């Protein structure tokens, strides 16, 4: 989908100076190309402004001079809200009409599976009753989908994966911009989700698609039941998640991270390789690899044990 910049700005009530160029998507300042729109709403990304390749950027006037000469400044005091309004242009058009997948050899597909358009299946794929496979989905060889699994449009599934009943992959992330009156405007999630080879995902899990770009679950990771992975997360190779883990948006995990039951992360942080996060622990900042963490907020496990002993001692002394 390609639109003239004037079509977009007219709908979101902005004007601009410069050529009326073609826009075919939205991305971050660092990833946007010369045909994509971007936005700036946080000073922590100021250093990205001079180097962005975006065709146009939604930006407050006081920062506009930092943009390169090739980038059109779309001046607004509400860049995040205007982003939400513009994102609708590039939302995938949903249709009830499906298609027949391009299948490899020896696939076993229940007749009660619904396929969207342009679906590709590898060899020996098994899909059981009640699954929905959306448009432009690919599923690698030897992968098994148990009943009632949903793969939204654009999802990429690797080889030898096992997905258990009720799991949803590629649904919209929880993204809203807010008006000055406190109303909530949907940011359409126009990225996708990629599940690499040899991943197993339990029942009733949710893995959100990216706002733009990709949400990743890397190869060899094993995920228990009832787990939420938010938009733009990147789960490293061979991670292990116990039940009810929750990852907030844009969390990045290294390889072989272990997360205990009901543990969680806040958004936009990194967890180092070979970390262990104990049950009910919450990481509120990035954590070094190779260590075990516990508590809220997360601290090293040995320190947490000492803290609990101190608290227990104080209680006993008070009696």
Tokens of 171: 């649904």
Above pLDDT 70, what percent of the chain?
99
The whole-number average pLDDT for the span 224-247 is 98
Which residues form the catalytic set?
231
Q: Per-residue pLDDT for 317 more than 80?
A: no
Decide if 300 contacts 292 (C-beta within 8 A): yes
What DSSP character marks residue 244?
T
pLDDT single digits (tens) 15-27: 999 999 999 999 9
Whole-angstrom distance, CA of residue 63 vs CA of residue 134: 41
Above pLDDT 90, what percent of the chain?
96
Whole-angstrom distance, CA of residue 64 vs CA of residue 16: 12
* From 123-137, 234-248, 298-312, the region with the lowest mean pLDDT: 298-312
The whole-number average pLDDT for the span 46-68 is 97
Pairing of strands 156-157, 168-171: unpaired
Q: Which residues pair with 248 in a beta bridge?
A: none
- Domains, the chain: 3-90 (3.40.1390.10), 108-302 (2.160.10.10)
Q: Of the candidates 178, 242, 249, 240, which has an alpha carbon nearest to the alpha carbon of residue 210?
A: 249
pTM: 0.95
Confidence band (pLDDT; 50, 70, 90) for 319?
A: low
> What does residue 293 show for φ and ψ, rounded to 5 degrees?
-125, 155
Tokens of 310: 């101190």
- The residues, ordered by sequence, that sit 6+ positions from 1 with a Cβ below 8 Å of its Cβ are 24, 89, 90
The whole-number average pLDDT for the span 33-37 is 97
**Cis peptide, bond prior to residue 297, ω within 30 of zero:** yes
Whole-number average pLDDT of the chain: 97
In which residue are the tokens 């006993």 written? 316
126: left (phi over 0), alpha (psi -120 to 50) or beta: beta
The whole-number average pLDDT for the span 236-240 is 98
């Amino acid at each position: 989908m390609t639109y003239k910049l004037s079509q977009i700005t007219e709908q979101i009530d902005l004007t601009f100076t410069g050529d009326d160029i073609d826009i075919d998507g939205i991305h971050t300042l660092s990833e946007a190309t010369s045909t994509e729109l971007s936005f700036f709403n946080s000073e922590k990304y100021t250093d990205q402004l001079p180097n962005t390749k975006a065709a146009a950027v939604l930006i407050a006037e006081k920062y506009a001079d930092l943009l390169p000469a090739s980038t059109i400044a779309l001046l607004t005091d509400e860049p995040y809200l205007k982003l939400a309004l513009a994102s609708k242009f590039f939302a995938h058009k949903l249709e009830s009409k499906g298609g027949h997948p391009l299948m490899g050899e020896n696939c076993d597909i229940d007749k009660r599976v619904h396929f969207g358009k342009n679906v590709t299946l590898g060899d020996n794929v098994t899909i059981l009753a009640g699954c929905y496979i959306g448009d432009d989905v690919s599923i690698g060889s030897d992968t098994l989908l148990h009943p009632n699994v949903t793969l939204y449009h654009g999802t990429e599934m690797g080889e030898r994966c096992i997905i258990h009943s009720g799991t949803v992959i590629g649904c919209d992330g929880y993204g809203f911009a807010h008006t000055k009156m406190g109303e909530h405007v949907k940011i359409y999630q126009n990225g996708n989700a990629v599940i690499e080879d040899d991943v197993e995902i339990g029942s009733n899990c949710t893995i959100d698609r990216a706002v733009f770009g990709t949400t990743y679950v890397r190869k060899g990771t094993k995920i228990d039941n009832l787990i939420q992975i938010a938009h733009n997360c990147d789960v490293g190779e061979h991670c292990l998640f116990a039940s009810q883990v929750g990852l907030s948006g844009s969390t990045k995990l290294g390889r072989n991270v272990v997360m205990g039951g009901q543990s969680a992360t806040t958004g936009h942080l990194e967890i180092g390789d070979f970390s262990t996060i104990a049950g009910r622990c919450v990481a509120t900042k990035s954590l070094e690899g190779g260590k075990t963490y516990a508590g809220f907020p997360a601290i090293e496990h040995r320190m947490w044990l000492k803290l609990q002993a101190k608290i227990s001692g104080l209680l006993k002394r008070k009696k």
